[in-house]
Structure 1
Amino acid sequence: MAGLIRREDIDAVRERADLREVVEQYVTLKKAGIGSYKGLCPFHDERTPSFHIRPQVGSYHCFGCGESGDVIAFLQAMEHTTFQETVERLAQRHGIELRYEDGGTGPDKVETGRRQRLLDAHKIADEFYQRCLGIPEAQIGRDFLTRRGFTREHAQQYGVGYAPQGWSNLLGHLRTKGFREDELQATGLFSEGRRGLYDRFRGRLMWPIRDMTGSTVGFGGRRLYEDDPGPKYLNSPETTVYKKSQVLYGIEHAKRHIAKQRQLVVVEGYTDVMACHIAGVDTAVATCGTAFGEGHIKIARRLLSDDGSPAEVVFTFDGDEAGQQAAVKAFNEAHQFNAQTFIAVGPDGMDPCDVRQQRGDEAVRAVVASKTPLVEFVIRRRLREWDLNAVEGRLGALRAAAPVVAEIRDDSLRAAYTRELAGWLGTDVNEVQSAVSGALKAQHSGTAQRAGSAQRQGTPQRSVPSAQQAHGGVGGFAFPRPDTRDPAVMMERQALEVILQHPTRLTAEQWEEIFTVRFSAPAHLAVHDGIRIAAAEASDPRTWVESVRQEVPEPLRGFVSELAVTALPARDEEHLDRYCQEILNRLVELQIQHEKANLLGQLQRMDPQESAEAYRRVNAELMELERRRRALRSAD
């Protein structure tokens, strides 16, 4: 049973992982002041850089879209992995051994080792096939790609390769790399006969199938020779690293575009994915020889995580009967998406690769743009099965289509399609409304019966989270953005920037002073409270900002990252040190002025004759505050 990773080990991962090194795998960075870098944001489209990172404190923030966090959060967002998966991968990359709470364990070391060996074998096979695409024998494969409008550069971009004819080309290659027989058997790259193992893929054009992280986990091979008795497309069998229901071809190329554009386009084949991407539909993926099912829906939900903006899934099925059936199946599962579902059918039933080959890139984009809501497609398909010119036909069509409309969960959309259906049938809208209501009641009754049956059998029912739980809300609690036109508020912000970015520059005395300072802006006050709570972590800049982020209310975590990456107005290290000291001194001076104002108010309310001792004490405090203020001024 996997347990929670210990906090100190997570901090060790944050310390060891270089944020700049990680971000530069995805973003081109340029210097933006001392210790600061900026680039085009990977989370939203922009022309001028607003994405800033500060490696010393391990934080990033986009001033355009507000995305922020540390190295772990960045990789989670880019690779769509869980927190634990991300920490474990970074730990493995940097040689950190993780420990787990409550006696729990992490990934089994033996199993992890086996998995890595399989991934290594697939990586080597991938490189082998790609090299073989250049040998004379592979001319047939190169011609195949050329006829379909793909260049050598396209083949390289998508890792297309060639499996040579013969029984042991890859087998011999992997044996020279030190793989044992049991490891070779487990890869799925080989079949076994009376004489032992032999290459599963022979004389085929090869496409690597990769997971979300870009690791090759399987292959799809296209038949090239007439005398090949195998199927037109042959895929890897399922292995411990390759589950067809959990992998989408092209996901490593499309995932960031899907998340950014809030669109997922599902096509049927490897060449369709390539054609779509080359034509500008870079959100396209394909299933690997299986129907689009529950595992794929989970991937889609992960990539189209609800941020409040509309999302869409577009299916591009063939126009034949099989494609129509696939569309109906997709509709039956559409309620599992957190997105609207559509269908796009190419002209004359052509797939995207044929469309691009015969009509060009723009035509591919036009196919996707001309999408039809999946619910409308299914309704119209049912209507086509009836003779709408006859009364009996219209009645039968209504009975067939009403349950489809009843499936629509959005009340307003259901009402709209009720009116549409009445128009398509040429029937009174009240009659259609009655049929839809009846179908809706029947569905609710069936759901209740299934729930009751499950309860009687002791099967727990899944609860539906509230909107607040689903979106990780905090009761709608929010902070107004501090108005930095007020010089005092601006001073507070500048001080928080210094404290978050350069905690080690503060002396023990300055920390004591900072703890007592009063912040006026509510957001600044909350961040200051977080700093006080997390102060013990200030000795390590790499974990410092994240420690503060965890101690402030959720709505302010992005604001903490913003403060941590804002460029400070300093030319060099000497100037930076002077700036930090000046800002901190001015903040303390501001606090001193507040305290002096309070004490002066007390003096004005006192009678020196009646409260002589108290009067002298307050005067002494005022003199001490003035001494401290002058000392700060002389230090500037």
Structure 2
Amino acid sequence: MAGRIRDEDVQAVRSALPIDAVVGDYVQLTNGGGGEYKGVCPFHDEKSASFYVNPAKGVFHCFGCQENGDTIAFLMKIEHFTFAEAVERMAAQAGITLRYEEGGYSPRHQQGERTRLVEAHKVAAAWYQEQLASPEAEIGRRFLAERGFDEEAAKAFGVGYAPAGWEHLVRFLRGKGFTDKEILQGGLASQGQRGGLIDRFRGRLVWPIRDIAGEVVGFGARRLREDDNGPKYLNTPETPIYKKSHVLYGIDLAKKEIARSGRAVVVEGYTDVMACHLAGVTSAVATCGTAFAEDHIKIIRRLLMDTSQYRGETVFTFDGDAAGQKAALRAFEDDQKFAAKTSIAVSPGGMDPCELRLAQGDEAVRQLIDNPVPLFEFALNTAVSKHRVETPEGQAAAMEEAALIVAKIKDPSIRHGYAIRLAGMLGVNPGDEQFVVRRISQLARWEREKQQNPRGNGQQRRTEQPVAAPRPARPAFRLNPRDPAQFVERELLKLALQHPDLVSPAFDHYGDDEFPTPPYTAVRQAIAKAGGAAYGATLPDFTSAVREAAPDDQVRSLVTELTVEPVRSLRKADAVYAGEFLVKLRLLAVDRRIAEVRGYLQRLGHRADAEQLHAVQTELWQLQQYGQQLRSRGAAAL
């Protein structure tokens, strides 16, 4: 049974890797103000960036889906790691040797399953790469050379060779201490007919497939010999660490350039990725034996920071044959899931980037990618070209097919422009263009209605009950950031968590009744339980102490949210700004009490005796005087 990782080692791992560095492997982060970063949330689809990272506190929070936590929690959520696997991944990256409670240093039998599988793939990748220099691999080296890739290029991309025998890799991995179960579970071998293990890849060129963090999680292997009856490309099967819809070949090499340039290039194969990168197009990636799909879009969007405010560009390259056109049209269907501009680059001769580089050089590849055609323009041209528009029948058929494409364009102004263009392509008389425009407007309206009512055409029958998605349980109290009073509470709590030195010691003298919003009351109590703001100012990470003092996950989540949400100051948070909110909160409490006392006086009426009336009037006078001092003297009156 696996031992427990020592607490001091877990803390060392947390301290060694800043959260923005870890999150930055998956999400493009930009300056969010107040020392924070923001990006597109990796845990839900969104149109605007609501995912914030606070490096100083080591936490993240999404204001859209409410996911939050520290660096380890982020890796657990995005990679589906166990706690131990997340810590082990970070320890490996930081070069920290972990100790376990049962004793010893990082014993192999105690490592998490995923960590073992990743290690097996790392060892296998290095072994495959060594085999590329063997005499048997001459056919593989020749294959690469014929496509313009020398030894240095093969090494840069980790290309290797799988020998033609049945169990060369299996024996090697056994010798490195990996069990048959691990080798089989990782997809590195298959079960033979006689019960033993046989290498999955045999007599093929092998490309390591890495995840976005650079870990080898699978392989793609290319057939080389005529007597190989297998498919042209054979990939790792679905395993605990490899999901083909969740990985893009080359993403580890391309992610920084995608984020920097705001452009992602999607090609069809491993050699196309190599050709693009060697030609200077270092934002190229490819799918791994599957169609470009929704999960791939999410990866690209996070790196592009693809929102309605930050628009990038995704350029697809496809072969000029029928299959390539079909892939392009399928990509057009996915265009609606991007905020980015989507384009297609098809070379005049229908060559892929690898072929183009070999025939015309690096500059031709760069020119191809730098001069793409908008994807919906390509889709429109493809649809019209299938019909003989010089005949009435062909014109009508082209109209219906192409109009459906134009109707799906999101931007109304662009949609109108392509409607006019379509009319010209169909040979419609200038005076009849509005017929095409009206038809497309009608189809666009139907498309919107279909999205709003995905159950089908027409209205629901009256006897049917609409099926609603299950809703999460509502909290006992609904926060309203637009409420001025709640805003003051929220801002002061943010200051207490993020800058406790600016609000102490005054903050600690505020009572729970001065935070009348129940969720904020709970956070105020957690701060007090953790020692108060004055004590927090002496700690390197006060927020962690407050989270530990929180009574439940709901309060812990709110603490994290308040930790990463930027302070709303136009200037950097300082003592003046903190003093303003200390005063504002106290004034709100004073005004509430004044209203209560006046109400009490009104209810007393003539029934109060002189002593009671004097006491109430005295309290009211004192409250009014204190309120005036707060307004005139500010924080000096606290």
What TM-score comes out, normalization by structure 2 length? 0.63
Q: CA deviation at 1:314?
A: 1.7
Cα distance change, pair 175–346 in 1 and its aligned pair in 2 (3 A): same
* Equivalent position amino acid for 2:337 in 1: Q
* Equivalent position amino acid for 1:243 in 2: K
Q: Which runs of 5+ in 2 are unaligned?
A: 1-5, 39-50, 62-69, 92-97, 101-108, 472-479, 485-493, 511-522, 548-556, 583-635
SS of match in other structure, 1:214:
coil
Q: Deviations 1:436-458 (Å, cap 9, x if unpaired)?
A: 13323544565547258999887
Q: Deviations 1:327-353 (Å, cap 9, x if unpaired)?
A: 112222322223232111123111111
The answer to whether the 8 A contact 1:76-1:83 is kept is no
Cα distance change, pair 178–87 in 1 and its aligned pair in 2 (3 A): closer
Q: CA deviation at 1:317?
A: 0.7
Q: Could you tell me which residue of structure 2 aligns to residue 199 of structure 1?
A: 199
Q: Could you tell me which residue of structure 1 aligns to residue 65 of structure 2?
A: none
* Equivalent position amino acid for 2:437 in 1: Q
Q: Could you tell me which residue of structure 2 aligns to residue 433 of structure 1?
A: 437
Q: CA deviation at 1:434?
A: 2.3
Q: Could you tell me which residue of structure 1 aligns to residue 505 of structure 2?
A: 512
* Equivalent position amino acid for 1:198 in 2: I
Q: Deviations 1:184-242 (Å, cap 9, x if unpaired)?
A: 22222223333322112122111011222322221111122343333322212222322
Q: Could you tell me which residue of structure 2 aligns to residue 150 of structure 1?
A: 149
Q: Could you tell me which residue of structure 1 aligns to residue 291 of structure 2?
A: 291
Distance across 2 between alignment mates of 1:184 and 1:407: 47
- The equivalences for 1:8-47 within 5 A come to 17-18=14-15
Q: Could you tell me which residue of structure 2 aligns to residue 31 of structure 1?
A: none
Q: Could you tell me which residue of structure 1 aligns to residue 113 of structure 2?
A: 114
SS of match in other structure, 2:339:
coil
Distance across 1 between alignment mates of 2:310 and 2:233: 38
- The equivalences for 1:66-85 within 5 A come to 69-70=54-55, 71-73=58-60, 82=77
Distance across 2 between alignment mates of 1:545 and 1:429: 65
Q: Could you tell me which residue of structure 1 aligns to residue 244 of structure 2?
A: 244
Identity %: 40
Cα distance change, pair 291–25 in 1 and its aligned pair in 2 (3 A): closer
Cα distance change, pair 407–22 in 1 and its aligned pair in 2 (3 A): closer
The answer to whether the 8 A contact 1:163-1:206 is kept is yes
Cα distance change, pair 389–60 in 1 and its aligned pair in 2 (3 A): closer
- The equivalences for 1:89-168 within 5 A come to 91-92=87-88, 93=90, 113-168=112-167
Q: Could you tell me which residue of structure 2 aligns to residue 619 of structure 1?
A: none
The answer to whether the 8 A contact 1:545-1:561 is kept is no
The answer to whether the 8 A contact 2:14-2:71 is kept is no
- The equivalences for 1:412-431 within 5 A come to 412-427=413-428, 428-431=432-435
Q: Could you tell me which residue of structure 1 aligns to residue 329 of structure 2?
A: 328
Cα distance change, pair 153–52 in 1 and its aligned pair in 2 (3 A): farther
Q: Could you tell me which residue of structure 2 aligns to residue 450 of structure 1?
A: 455
Higher mean alpha-carbon deviation, 115-124 vs 157-166, is at 115-124
Distance across 2 between alignment mates of 1:553 and 1:245: 31
Distance across 1 between alignment mates of 2:341 and 2:205: 35
Give yes or no for the alignment of 1:225 onto 2:230.
no
The answer to whether the 8 A contact 2:267-2:318 is kept is yes
Distance across 2 between alignment mates of 1:206 and 1:445: 48
Distance across 2 between alignment mates of 1:534 and 1:113: 36
* Equivalent position amino acid for 2:237 in 1: P
- The equivalences for 1:472-487 within 5 A come to none
The answer to whether the 8 A contact 1:399-1:435 is kept is no
SS of match in other structure, 2:266:
strand
Q: Could you tell me which residue of structure 1 aligns to residue 310 of structure 2?
A: 309
Q: Deviations 1:259-288 (Å, cap 9, x if unpaired)?
A: 343332211100111221222222211111
What TM-score comes out, normalization by structure 1 length? 0.63
SS of match in other structure, 2:165:
coil
The answer to whether the 8 A contact 2:76-2:86 is kept is no
Distance across 2 between alignment mates of 1:459 and 1:289: 39
* Equivalent position amino acid for 2:404 in 1: P
Cα distance change, pair 188–72 in 1 and its aligned pair in 2 (3 A): same
Cα distance change, pair 516–339 in 1 and its aligned pair in 2 (3 A): same
Q: CA deviation at 1:52?
A: 13
Cα distance change, pair 420–233 in 1 and its aligned pair in 2 (3 A): same
The answer to whether the 8 A contact 1:164-1:202 is kept is yes
- The equivalences for 1:585-604 within 5 A come to none
Distance across 2 between alignment mates of 1:358 and 1:80: 44
Cα distance change, pair 544–12 in 1 and its aligned pair in 2 (3 A): farther
Give yes or no for the alignment of 1:369 onto 2:365.
no
Cα distance change, pair 408–363 in 1 and its aligned pair in 2 (3 A): same
The answer to whether the 8 A contact 1:76-1:82 is kept is no
* Equivalent position amino acid for 1:69 in 2: N
The answer to whether the 8 A contact 2:33-2:566 is kept is no
Q: Could you tell me which residue of structure 1 aligns to residue 615 of structure 2?
A: none
- Does 1 or 2 have the higher relative contact order (CA < 8 Å, sep 6+)? 1
Q: CA deviation at 1:321?
A: 0.6
* Equivalent position amino acid for 2:396 in 1: L
Distance across 2 between alignment mates of 1:52 and 1:294: 31
Q: Could you tell me which residue of structure 1 aligns to residue 269 of structure 2?
A: 269
Q: CA deviation at 1:393?
A: 2.8
Cα distance change, pair 52–417 in 1 and its aligned pair in 2 (3 A): closer
Q: Could you tell me which residue of structure 2 aligns to residue 406 of structure 1?
A: 407
The answer to whether the 8 A contact 1:69-1:546 is kept is no
* Equivalent position amino acid for 1:211 in 2: D
